[in-house]
Amino acid sequence: MGYVIALAGKGGTGKTTIAALIVRLIKEKNLGSVLAIDADPNNNLAEALGITPQQTIGALLDSICAHPETVPPGMSKDRFIEYKIQTSIEEGEGFDILTMGRPEGPGCYCYVNNCLRGIMEKLIKDYDYVVIDNEAGLEHLSRRTTRFADALVVVSDPTAVGLRAAQRIRQLIKELDITTKKNFLIINRCEKEVNSETIKNLGLDYLGCIPSDNEISALSVDGDSLWKLKDNAASIAVLRKSGDSIWQLN
């Protein structure tokens, strides 16, 4: 059974950046096989990892709905979708990635989420680590796209709004009875440590403060992946220091 690391947080906190850096560090430490899942309809994780996604689940489902005749005779639609999703997993250097994407047809994301949830339950068994970059905000939790995680990493900025969002995420997880074994908080893009009194009642184990990183900003502007981030970058240093708490198996 794979070890699941799920990331959550409000939009604009750098959640996808942290997810990509966690994938990078797990790979660099040779901890085992890694599947990155971009469960955010505004998919950016693949690009952060240096891959241009060729197929998304949303586009795949749109295509099957528009052309139901593509489902082979004798195969159920659900089985065909599962097969196509499995073949849409893309290989990186030392990791695989599955991208949810955004459906273009009418309707909501519910069917996409159901498909993603079902295939995730099966794929988790095939990898040592699964890193899930969830949709920003709380809606994905209310839909229970993520039902279980060995480690939940909530990413916030140092603002009161960001920290309140982090607290709501933790409260909602309890209300929905989503199973998380470990619950962490990372504060991103901060210039000084946040007052401990501010974070002690959030119900999350604080892993540290990642300073603003001009190199990450420059890579983003140029469209380069985070594999090009220097090994001694401050963000890498913070995650190396606290990261074992995130991905350790016990």
Token look-up 């962490």 returns 184
Give the predicted TM-score (pTM) of the model.
0.87
pLDDT tens digit at each of 250 positions of the chain: 689 898 988 888 889 999 999 999 999 999 999 999 888 777 789 889 988 878 788 788 788 877 888 888 888 887 888 888 888 888 888 899 988 876 665 554 566 566 667 777 778 888 999 998 887 655 554 454 556 788 999 999 998 888 988 988 888 888 877 788 899 999 998 877 777 777 888 889 999 889 888 888 888 877 788 988 998 888 898 898 888 888 876 6
**Which is nearest to 154 in space by CA: 48, 44, 38, 14?**
14
| 167, 9 contact by CB (below 8 A) | no
Q: Where are the alpha helices (DSSP H) in the chain?
A: 15-28, 45-48, 57-66, 77-87, 110-123, 139-142, 160-175, 196-199, 214-222, 234-247
Under CATH, which number does the domain 3-49+124-247 receive? Answer: 3.40.50.300
How is the chain split into domains, by residue range?
A: 3-49+124-247
Residue 65 structure tokens: 């709905």
The span from the first CA to the last CA of the chain, in angstroms, equals 14
Where on the phi/psi map is residue 155: left (φ > 0), alpha (ψ -120 to 50), or beta? beta
